[in-house]
């Protein structure tokens, strides 16, 4: 697919874009449909957005697919979401691989079904050499929990004598996060008009630009991604420095 004229006019894209995909339930409710319909339509938006990000030259795209707090939702809705995840892993990996996209999953896998964990491991292994785009899915993920686990890992290394407490710095902490080896996001987008980050990439997003858009996730696509990137390029990123 050819890029739109608008996309051709954009400056080089940010290296890493992260998206909080919000609004599936409201999209369905506004149409008198069950929440499941919103989640299914949201899965189509994932496909469109991944394709657009790859074509626009984004190197890393992280999607907040299922938070650690989402386990509190009704069991039937969680089961539906896990079913959609299974379908995605079963049906989309071949297409990702064909298009040179690497898949990486971050989060607490111990709460996922064993079959889902196996599919994730197989997909990561199959796509690990791809370089067109790295798609990071945050599943059973929470930013605070990630930092706690990183601290536990650091503490174990110190206790074992393989790490001195004197050398612990931001680089050491970053190396113990789920996102080790992945650059911090330049841009975090949240759909549906909500203006919070909801426990997403708390450490990594320290200097990310934030863009909040009214569009509900099932309606998100190339045009909305281009709009967010245009907003990003209007920002003056000083990282705490003076003008």
Give per-residue burial for 172-203: e unless 16+ CB within 10 Å, then b: ebbebbbbeebebbbbbbbbbeeeebebbbeb
77 annotated to a ligand binding site:
no
25 annotated to a ligand binding site:
yes
Task: Give residue 243's pLDDT.
Answer: 60
70 is catalytic: yes
pTM to 2 decimal places: 0.92
Long-range Cβ contacts of 74-77 (<8 Å, 24+ apart): 77/35, 77/36
Task: Give residue 82's pLDDT.
Answer: 96
Neighbouring residues of 104: CB distance < 8 A, sequence distance ≥ 6: 124, 134, 135, 136, 137, 182
Task: Give residue 11's pLDDT.
Answer: 82
Task: Give residue 240's pLDDT.
Answer: 62
Task: Give residue 3's pLDDT.
Answer: 47
pLDDT digit string (tens) for the chain, length 243 residues? 444 555 556 688 999 999 999 999 999 999 999 999 999 999 999 999 999 999 999 999 999 999 999 999 999 999 999 999 999 999 999 999 999 999 999 999 999 999 999 999 999 999 999 999 999 999 999 999 999 999 999 999 999 999 999 999 999 999 999 999 999 999 999 999 999 999 999 999 999 999 999 999 999 999 999 999 999 999 887 666 656
23 annotated to a ligand binding site:
yes
The CA distance from 67 to 22, in Å, is: 11
DSSP codes joined into one string, 153-214: HHHHHHHHTSS-GGG--HHHHHHTSTTTTSPPPSEEEE-TT----TTSSTTTTTT-EEEE-S
35 annotated to a ligand binding site:
yes
Q: 3: which 2 tokens?
A: 């890029």
Task: Give residue 143's pLDDT.
Answer: 98
Task: Give residue 1's pLDDT.
Answer: 42
Q: Residues 70, 99, 130, 199: which is the catalytic one?
A: 70
Q: 148: which 2 tokens?
A: 């706690």
166 is catalytic: no
Say if CB 230 and CB 10 are below 8 A apart. Answer: yes
Neighbouring residues of 61: CB distance < 8 A, sequence distance ≥ 6: 16, 17, 18, 19, 49, 50, 53, 133, 134, 135, 136
Q: Could you tell me the CATH superfamily of domain 11-142+184-232? A: Decaprenyl diphosphate synthase-like (3.40.1180.10)
Q: How is residue 46 annotated by DSSP?
A: H
Domain boundaries, the chain: 11-142+184-232
């Amino acid at each position: 697919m050819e890029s739109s004229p608008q996309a051709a006019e954009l400056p080089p894209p940010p290296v890493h874009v992260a998206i909080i995909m919000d609004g599936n339930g409201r999209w369905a409710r506004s149409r008198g449909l069950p929440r499941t319909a919103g989640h299914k339509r949201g899965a189509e938006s994932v496909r469109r957005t991944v394709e657009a990000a790859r074509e626009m030259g984004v190197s890393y795209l992280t999607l907040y697919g299922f938070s650690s707090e989402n386990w509190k939702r009704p069991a039937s809705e969680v089961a539906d979401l896990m079913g959609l995840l299974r379908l995605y892993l079963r049906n989309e990996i071949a297409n990702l691989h064909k298009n040179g996209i690497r898949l990486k999953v971050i989060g607490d896998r111990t709460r996922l079904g064993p079959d889902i964990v196996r599919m994730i491991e197989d997909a990561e292994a199959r796509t690990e050499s791809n370089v067109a785009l790295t798609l990071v899915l945050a599943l059973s993920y929470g930013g605070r929990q990630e930092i706690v686990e990183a601290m536990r890992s650091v503490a174990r290394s110190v206790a074992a004598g393989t790490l001195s407490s004197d050398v612990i710095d931001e680089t050491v902490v970053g190396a113990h996060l789920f996102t080790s080896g992945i650059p911090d996001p330049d841009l975090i987008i949240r759909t549906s008009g909500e203006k919070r980050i909801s426990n997403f990439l708390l450490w990594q997003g320290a200097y990310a630009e934030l863009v909040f858009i009214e569009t509900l996730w099932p309606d998100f696509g190339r045009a909305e991604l281009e709009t967010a990137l245009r907003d990003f390029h209007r920002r003056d990123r000083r990282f705490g420095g003076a003008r």
